[in-house]
């Protein structure tokens, strides 16, 4: 932070997530300025810059890291680049918000965590659902003991994605091991299972690739795809709770973008079940931000953190 308490952000990767989520979010923060949009595709950087009145663009992320005016970066590139760019950013003294999944395998993630911890800089992974009012309320209920012992956790992230080639998301070399449905959205479920219930000790899982080749949009050309279209796993948590998880990109239309999370205590207290059913309602709508207000969560859980430093909690 150089002056006037303004935090200057550099976007590295200026594609969908920076356009739909990060940039509109930063625009709501009075002490944040998006100073630089970087994308390896010039046109993408320019389009994002135009949409959000970002004064500078570049196609070379080193220009972001070498810029002394930049305080923090968002790493929102294909997954295979997260490690290199995040580590270089930390070494350049920039705070880092890295998109999920953190790395493409456990070894990469461990290295990144170690370097981030040693850096003393603020860093976070973009597991956004932790900030959804329903999840924050659920966390409060669990931590306060209101739900008693959690014995079972069940989560689904169901999508319908067009049957076309999905670019880097269809290639494990770019998206990471299991970089399909599991790596793309299953990581969110694992994150809030960790957040709400605790560490997972053991899993029994499957992944399935239904379409080993996908057509490139607008052509008759097919590309090989080696990531999963669906995954499922049974889990056992360190604290003895059990879990069932399901993710898919190929559910029928009526299930489109529906996400259901349920958690309950199996000791028969009806009051707990009725609280949880209200949480379902809220949580199922988190992908539709405008719906969040229409669903029930105590007011104080609708308020979000306002200091960047609070992200350290993630
Ligand atoms: N937190 C969430 O809920 C959420 C949701 C969607 C995507 N994501 C994550 O965000 C990341 C980006 O996803 P997206 O949907 O925006 O993909 P995208 O393909 O739309 O955007 C990625 C951008 O990175 C650019 N890029 C590639 N190499 C680069 C480099 N060396 N330097 C600078 N830019 C480079 C590409 O040109 C592209 O514009 C992924 O890691 C994805 O998993 C997270």
Peptide bond into 101 cis (omega under 30): yes
Ligand 1 centre to CA of 29 (Å) is 22
- Residue 142 has a pLDDT of 83
- Which CATH superfamily groups domain 129-304? Dihydrodipicolinate Reductase; domain 2 (3.30.360.10)
Residue for token pair 């306002």:
306
Q: Which of the residue ranges 66-70, 118-122, 211-215, 308-312 would you say has the lowest mean pLDDT?
A: 308-312
Tokens representing 210 are 């239904």
Atom number of ligand 1 nearest to Cα 168: 19
- The CATH architecture assigned to 7-126 reads 3-Layer(aba) Sandwich (3.40)
β-strands 152-158, 259-264 pairing:
antiparallel
81 lines ligand 1 (CB under 6 A): yes
Taking the C-alpha atoms of residue 68 and residue 93, their distance in angstroms, rounded to an integer, is 9
Taking the centre of ligand 1 as the mean of its atom positions, its distance from the CA of residue 201, in whole angstroms, is 31
Q: Which atom of ligand 1 is nearest to the CA of 185?
A: 3
Between 39-43, 269-273, 307-311, the lowest mean confidence (pLDDT) is in: 269-273
Location of each CATH 3.40.50.720 domain in the chain: 7-126
pLDDT in tens, 114-140: 999 999 999 999 988 777 666 777 788
Cα–Cα distance, 244 to 246 (Å, whole number):
7
What is the Cα gyration radius of the chain?
20
């Amino acid at each position: 932070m150089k002056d006037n308490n303004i935090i200057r952000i550099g976007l590295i990767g200026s594609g969908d997530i920076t356009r739909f989520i990060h940039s509109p979010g930063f625009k709501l923060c009075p002490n944040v300025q998006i100073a630089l949009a970087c994308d390896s595709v010039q046109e993408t950087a320019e389009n994002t810059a135009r949409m959000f009145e970002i004064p500078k663009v570049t196609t070379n992320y080193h220009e972001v890291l070498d810029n002394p005016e930049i305080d923090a970066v968002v790493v929102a590139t294909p997954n295979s680049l997260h490690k290199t760019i995040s580590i270089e950013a930390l070494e350049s003294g920039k705070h880092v918000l890295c998109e999920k999944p953190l790395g493409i395998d456990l070894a990469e993630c461990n290295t990144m965590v170690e370097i981030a911890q040693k850096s003393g800089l603020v860093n976070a992974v973009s597991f956004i659902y932790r900030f959804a009012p329903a999840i924050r309320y659920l966390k409060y209920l669990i931590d306060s003991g209101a739900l008693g012992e959690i014995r079972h956790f069940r989560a689904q992230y169901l999508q319908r994605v067009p049957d076309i080639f999905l670019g880097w998301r269809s290639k494990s070399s770019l998206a990471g091991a299991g970089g399909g449905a599991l790596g793309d959205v299953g990581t969110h479920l694992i994150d809030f299972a960790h957040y709400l219930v605790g560490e997972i000790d053991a899993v029994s899982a499957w992944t399935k690739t239904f379409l080993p080749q996908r057509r490139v949009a607008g052509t008759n050309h097919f590309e090989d795809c080696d990531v999963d279209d669906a995954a499922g796993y049974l889990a056992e948590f360190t604290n003895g709770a059990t879990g069932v998880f399901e993710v898919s990109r190929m559910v029928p239309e009526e299930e489109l973008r529906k996400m259901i999370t349920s958690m309950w205590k199996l000791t028969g207290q009806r009051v707990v079940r009725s609280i949880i059913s209200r949480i379902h309602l809220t949580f199922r709508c988190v992908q539709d931000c405008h719906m969040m207000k229409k669903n029930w969560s105590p007011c104080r859980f609708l308020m979000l953190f306002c200091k960047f430093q609070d992200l350290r909690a993630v």
